[in-house]
Amino acid sequence: MANSLITVIGSINMDMVTVTNSVPKQGETKIGEAYRLNPGGKGANQAISAARLGADIQMIGMVGDDQHGTQLLENLDNEGVSTEMIKKTPEEHTGIANIIVSGRDNRIIVIPGANDKVTSNYVKQFEKEILRSDLVLLQFEIPLETVLYCLEFCNLNGIPIIVNPAPAKSIAKDHWMKATYITPNENEAYQLFDKKNTVNQLTDRLVITKGAYGVSYYIKDKQMNIPAHLVTPVDTTGAGDTFNGALSVAVSEKEDLSTAIRFANAASALSIQKFGAQEGMPTRKEVEYFLRKNKKY
């Protein structure tokens, strides 16, 4: 059986990670514990998550013509992600994410840089490659007009598309209706879908990740919940990206939604047991073994 082909359209960042016992208050200085540079960006993270789980991945994006850009492209190549549709631009620096890890949780500030150059016109030149896809996956760390174009293009051409609306940005209900699945976390869901009428019309599309409270979704307007696995978190950075990559793989392989969410939920649980967004992302074999051990989930 051939691997599914997933096109990820999204951000590529260098993560600047600071680990500290406590987050400083306004005007306060703290001595931190550790500092690391890690490959990141929601698009790149989700591409690598899906690649490790056995899908063929092609990515559309931008990096700066700088050292970070070179390192990030090499990292994607090493993970088996096709980078033929990723351009180096001299007009902007590579995207940066400042991440503070404290108390087994994180706070993130993203500076888009080259990711803002992933315009709809840039993506349009790759329509032929997108049409080959079994599924398209995108996030909100690229221009919103690009997201809307991708939703329209995939909807017109019958290509399943998963939208991870992070960071949260509002779009019209008609655009949401073009998504196959929408995967906000609990905070994003509250910001974007707090109106009852909107939620009711999108129930068959919403998959809401809730951290320690698991994942909620709907079957015929009935809310379902899959509990989180009981693991000890080391670093939650990248957990949502791992989930989205894994969900995309399972959906592209025609699994039913409940099975796909259980698969993604397990992958996410494995990811938070290691430090770094990408370092903890599991392989297919690791997820399947974990699921066998945890059948009650």
Name the phi and psi angles at 226, rounded to 5. Answer: -110, 120
d(CA 295, CA 237): 26
d(CA 197, CA 4): 35
d(CA 234, CA 232): 7
Is residue 167 reached through a cis peptide bond, with omega within 30 degrees of 0 on the bond before it?
yes
d(CA 92, CA 114): 5
Q: Between vectors from CA 82 to CA 246 and to CA 115, what angle results, nearest 5°?
A: 80
What pLDDT is recorded for position 296? 54
What pLDDT is recorded for position 297? 53
Give which of 53, 54, 50, 66 is closest to 13, Cα–Cα: 66
Q: Give the other-Cβ count within 10 Å of 102's Cβ.
A: 17
Count the residues in the chain: 297
Q: Please confirm, yes or no, whether 241 is among the known catalytic residues.
A: yes
Spatial contact of 98 and 19, defined as CB atoms under 8 Å apart: no
Q: What is the pTM of this model?
A: 0.91
Which is catalytic among the residues 56, 134, 235, 241? Answer: 241
Residue type, 179: A
SS3 42: helix
Query: What is the chain's pLDDT, residue by residue, as a tens digit (297 residues)?
Result: 679 999 999 999 999 989 899 888 999 998 999 998 989 999 999 999 999 999 999 999 999 999 999 999 999 999 999 999 999 999 999 999 898 988 767 788 889 999 999 999 999 999 999 999 999 999 999 999 999 999 999 999 999 999 999 999 999 999 999 999 999 999 999 999 876 545 667 888 999 999 889 999 988 778 889 998 888 877 777 899 999 999 999 999 999 999 999 999 999 999 988 877 788 899 999 999 999 988 755
